[in-house]
Amino acid sequence: MTSSVIYQGGLRTVCKHIQSASIIETDAPTDNQGKGERFSPTDLVGTALAGCMLTTMAIRARAMEEKLQGVWVDVRKVMSAAPRRISALHLTFHYPPGFTSTQEQRDELEHIAMTCPVKESIHPGIDLQIDFNWP
């Protein structure tokens, strides 16, 4: 088993990772009757994509792992109304001051990110806009 999710009432869940016992709480978003005090389940889709991209980049580019420390991704989720679903995810990568890379390294990192398991699991009907914003 991977996780256990318990409904707490008030449109909140508590999600427990079985192996580590770490916890994530979710709330319904404010545009869907919720308080928006936590990540919504749909927020976690874009967040998981960014985390997966960064993690696989670091795994596959071990020689660059130290350089990748401090890289961050801004995630914007766009919802459609009918049917209510994620219609787009916009991800923008940002690099810390002093980050340098060759074109070959950038190409490799982009390929790794664009083939991560979460990206490969995203429905093709979701518009993905990913900007690596290289320095």
Q: Compute CA distances 69 → 27, 96, 121, whole Å.
A: 30, 8, 26
- Cβ-proximal residues to 84 (8 Å cutoff; 6+ apart), any chain: 32
Of 109, 31, 113, the closest CA to residue 77 belongs to: 31
Query: In terms of pTM, does the model score above 0.85?
Result: yes
Three-state DSSP state, 14: strand
Tens digits of pLDDT across the chain (135 residues): 999 999 999 999 999 999 999 999 999 999 999 999 999 999 999 999 999 999 999 998 887 777 889 999 999 999 999 899 999 999 999 999 989 899 999 999 999 999 999 999 999 999 999 999 999
Residue 58 structure tokens: 């670091």
User: What's the rounded Cα separation, in Å, for the pair 36 and 38?
Assistant: 6
